[in-house]
Structure 1
Amino acid sequence: MILIATTFCGFVVLTNLSLAYNTVGTYQVAKMLTTPCVIMMQMCFYDKHFSVMIKLTLIPIALGVIINFYYDLQFNIRGTIYAGLGVIVTSLYQVWVNRKQKEFQMDPMQLLYYQAPISAAMLFIIIPVLEPLDNTIIRHWSCFDISIVLLSSIVAFFVNLTSYWIIGYTSPLTYNMVGHCKFCLLLLGGAIIFHESLAFNQTTGIALTLGGIILYAHVKMKDNRSSPSDSTMEEGKSLVHKI
């Protein structure tokens, strides 16, 4: 639990620092690197195998994100360090959430129940070091401000819970695909609801990313349909061997 809580705190702190010291484009491209990092960790440390088609679906997704933000890519030493560490810690956190749910035979709510208080205690120690608490203390808090903070906390709870559900019942890779889909929906929602203009490169990037996600879903469903028959064949071979 302490390991999961520690990686959760690192994921929260480092991604926020990455956003603070990088442009939005650099932050998004670094965030996209979590997907291949998750695959590498599972292959190297947990002997998990991914089909060639699954790996190929990452190409249009990566290209889509890069095309969206290539004009906003700016690198600096501190921002790059925070972004790199954020990618590693976030990937480790996602992989461990998936593994520990199965190892401890817990559902997502149970794991979150044990992990959240430990993470809160750790962040309570880190916050005074990284946050300007003087501004927080002297600020005049209106009812509206307090309600927004409470609403944000409720939303954060459901974000964490749904993250555990997706990672626990599917996989860290599928969770990253959902994240990429959310990114596209944000851009499309801004254009449709708030009438924000979409440049040609953004439209192309969204199309590539969504195309890659749809292709991934198709390949994943195909693999899942073939899995039962594969396991049945293996059981048959084992039975023949025993006879």
Structure 2
Amino acid sequence: MGVLESILRKDGRKFMKRKDSDAGEPGRALEELRGSLYSDFHTSDGAKRQQQRLCGPFVAMTFNFIVAVGIIMANKVVMGMVGFNFPIALSLIHYLTSWFLMAIFKALSLLPASPPSKTTPFSSIFLLGAVMALATGLANVSLQHNSVGFYQMAKIAVTPTIVLAEFMLFSKKVSIQKVITLAVVSIGVAVATVTDLEFNVFGACVALAWIVPSAINKILWSNLQQTGNWTALALMWKTSPITIFFFMSLMPLLDPPGVLSFNWNSNNLFAIVISALFGFLLQWSGALALGATSATSHVVLGQFKTCVIMLGGYIFFNSDPGIVSLSGAVVALCGMSFYTYLNLLGSKESATTSNKLLSKQNSFSQKPKTAEDDVKVEVNTLSSV
């Protein structure tokens, strides 16, 4: 019995060991997968890498373009058919909806992690939230009080403002080719869209006051995502409460009275909710585009949307903006295409330079000579002499 027990004990140990190893391999693989998913989503570095991998410049800008066209249609329904002429209140509803959706994501552990608070001072987050409220609110008020032509003229002025602000804040220079291309784009957009310049004094003041916050808003969004480990959703989650607070402060000043007495029936509420959902997608897609490209490229994308909508209306809906406006739109689209080419060329050169530097670092980081190697060299030299 003692021999049998010892044999069974050995075989049992081997069997248990084999079973443990068999069970351990998938267990370890599952644990590694779980750790990888946690690192990719619940740490700021991993979440930033995932955003860069899944949402490059082309995907981000295409997403933003589609959503922007959708929200134009939704807001036309809300402000035209529904008659909800309260632009600041509508923006407030958009951001409240965005904050509510992100709160659900956070409760379900689906919201990407934010970088440590010490890496980004609260003053930067506060400034971004405040500037975002001013930029969005003043844009809606300007569109309400000015003609479309004057509103587009103000939008064109954002491009040189961004170039000047980036040079003053970050010493970022723009090549002469890009300056000429941006000038051609601005002239083309002006010819295509500035059909009338009707405005009143209040509307003109609002439009001029909107230019600087709009430029600073885009620059801060792009800079915080590209220099830090912020993802679009994480930065939206941090800034939304600040933006909502400023919208609530601006609403009594810039909105007409009567928002509470509006006819909040089911049909009107449904249209406003659809607009709010598009507002969340627009904010998210815009943040993704700013993180993947630059503030200037995002402004050029906005002008591209304007020209494409005009040409689409002429081709598909028989609208007739006139030969001058159509020619301006074509010139602007050609300028935007060349600007995109210059950006892609610059990105390719940057990638080539980075690869060269990496190869040099790898060559320098090879195994250094040891004392034994030096002795061998000296012996070979003496023997050759």
Check whether TM > 0.5.
Answer: yes
Q: Which amino acid in 2 is paired with 1:157?
A: F
Which residue, 90, 94, 106 being the options, matches 2:214?
90
**Corresponding position: 1:224 with 2:347:** yes
Worse-matched range after superposition: 30-39 or 14-23: 14-23
Please give the alpha-carbon distance, in whole angstroms, between the structure 1 residues aligned to 2:256 and 2:198: 26
Cα shift at 1:106: 0.8
**Corresponding position: 1:184 with 2:310:** no
Partner of 2:132: 8
**Corresponding position: 1:202 with 2:318:** no
Equivalent pair of 2:145/2:199 in contact (CA under 8 Å): no
Cα shift at 1:133: 3.6
SS in 2 for 1:139: coil
Alignment of 1:1-243 (within 5 A): 1-74=125-198, 76-134=200-258, 136-232=259-355
Partner of 2:379: none
Deviations 1:95-131 (A, max 9, x none): 0111122344111111011111221122123213322
Please give the alpha-carbon distance, in whole angstroms, between the structure 1 residues aligned to 2:244 and 2:324: 40
Please give the alpha-carbon distance, in whole angstroms, between the structure 1 residues aligned to 2:142 and 2:311: 24
Please give the alpha-carbon distance, in whole angstroms, between the structure 2 residues aligned to 1:16 and 1:161: 18
Deviations 1:211-242 (A, max 9, x none): 111000111111111112334556789999xx
Cα shift at 1:14: 1.6
- RCO (CA 8 Å, sep 6+): is it higher in 1 or 2? 1
Please give the alpha-carbon distance, in whole angstroms, between the structure 1 residues aligned to 2:192 and 2:308: 13
Q: Which amino acid in 1 is paired with 2:295?
A: P
RMSD after superposition? 2.3
Equivalent pair of 1:26/1:69 in contact (CA under 8 Å): no
SS in 2 for 1:137: coil
Q: 1:121 to 1:211 in 2, by over 3 A?
A: same
Deviations 1:29-56 (A, max 9, x none): 1111111111111111101122221111
Please give the alpha-carbon distance, in whole angstroms, between the structure 2 residues aligned to 1:75 and 1:141: 31
Please give the alpha-carbon distance, in whole angstroms, between the structure 1 residues aligned to 2:292 and 2:160: 20
Q: Which amino acid in 2 is paired with 1:207?
A: V
Q: Which amino acid in 2 is paired with 1:127?
A: M
SS in 2 for 1:57: helix
Equivalent pair of 2:146/2:199 in contact (CA under 8 Å): yes
Q: Unpaired runs of 5+ in structure 1?
A: none
Cα shift at 1:139: 2.9
Please give the alpha-carbon distance, in whole angstroms, between the structure 1 residues aligned to 2:260 and 2:199: 34
Identity of aligned residues (%): 23
Q: Which amino acid in 2 is paired with 1:145?
A: N
Q: Which amino acid in 1 is paired with 2:273?
A: L
Partner of 2:47: none
Aligned length: 240
Cα shift at 1:91: 0.1
Please give the alpha-carbon distance, in whole angstroms, between the structure 1 residues aligned to 2:357 and 2:171: 19
Deviations 1:188-225 (A, max 9, x none): 22223332123101111110110111000111111111
SS in 2 for 1:138: coil
Equivalent pair of 1:5/1:115 in contact (CA under 8 Å): yes
Equivalent pair of 2:150/2:196 in contact (CA under 8 Å): yes
Equivalent pair of 1:22/1:74 in contact (CA under 8 Å): yes
TM-score under structure 2 normalisation? 0.58
Please give the alpha-carbon distance, in whole angstroms, between the structure 1 residues aligned to 2:260 and 2:141: 22
Equivalent pair of 2:147/2:198 in contact (CA under 8 Å): yes
Please give the alpha-carbon distance, in whole angstroms, between the structure 1 residues aligned to 2:361 and 2:198: 56
